[in-house]
Amino acid sequence: MIPRMELYIDTANIDEIREAAALGVLDGVTTNPTLIAREGVAFHERMAEICDIVAGPVSAEVVALDHDGMIAEADELLKIANNIVIKLPCTFDGVKACKTLSDRGVRVNMTLCFQPLQALMVAKAGAFLVSPFIGRIDDIGGDGMDLIQQIRTIYDNYGFETKVLAASIRHPLHLVQCALVGADVVTVPMKVIKQQMSHPLTDKGLEGFLADWNARKE
């Protein structure tokens, strides 16, 4: 089967999620503690709202830092809906928790990935998704897209089924680059989703068409 790049929205704002879902091209949602905090809402209630709107994977992140705490939080999150994906950090305990959950058939998104060996470890632990943060790497003078390419190569070399989810996307060029190097998933804010379909020549062309149409002889 030919692979396709999936599009997730990175937000906890219900209006944005509804707007993106109305496009008919939204495959899933990612959230994090910062996004939830900005909304000033109860975490579990907001996750339930999101899962009612989007049928695809919805990543809900734990805040515990130890294995047992992560598993306890995950068990509560999994009660929300069948499409919840547990989001864990790329840490030592995070990998342990990933293995525990994946062995149970739970889908896990390993977040805050900043180097290829983290991605290799989480794939071996059975992660469903790995989320390299390309924008944050660019912010400190690195090359985030190079990380996507390295992970893609490693996964292809060894047949890992973990999907590469490009996160911390800043602008449409990141999306183009992700598509060219073969990211499985991109998660983007609403601003970038709107920017994807915006081009001055499209606007100019429409203006010309409408001007000609309105100036036609009846």
Rounded to an integer, the average pLDDT of 135-153 is: 95
Rounded to an integer, the average pLDDT of 82-104 is: 98
How much is the pLDDT for 1? 64
pLDDT of 201 > 80? The answer is yes
Range of the domain at 93: 6-214
Number of domains in the chain: 1
Is residue 1 domain-resident? no
How much is the pLDDT for 196? 84
Rounded to an integer, the average pLDDT of 152-164 is: 97
Is residue 33 domain-resident? yes
If you write DSSP's letter for every residue of 112-163 in order, what string do you get? Answer: EE-SHHHHHHHHHTT-SEEEEBHHHHHHTT--HHHHHHHHHHHHHHHT---E
Q: Are residues 7 and 30 in contact, defined by beta-carbon separation less than 8 angstroms?
A: no
Q: Are residues 174 and 195 in contact, defined by beta-carbon separation less than 8 angstroms?
A: no
The percentage of residues in the chain with a pLDDT greater than 90, rounded to a whole number, is: 88
Whether 87 is catalytic is yes
Active-site residue (options: 87, 194, 204, 217): 87
CATH code for the domain of 54: 3.20.20.70
Residue-wise pLDDT for 17-48, tens only, equals 999 999 999 999 999 999 999 999 999 999 99
Identify the CA nearest to 147 among candidates 90, 76, 191: 90
pTM beyond 0.85: the answer is: yes
Confidence grade of residue 218 (pLDDT, cut at 50, 70, 90): low
Is residue 65 domain-resident? yes
Residue-wise pLDDT for 43-67, tens only, equals 999 999 999 999 999 999 999 999 9
69 alpha-carbon distance from chain centroid = 24
143 alpha-carbon distance from chain centroid = 19
Confidence grade of residue 215 (pLDDT, cut at 50, 70, 90): confident
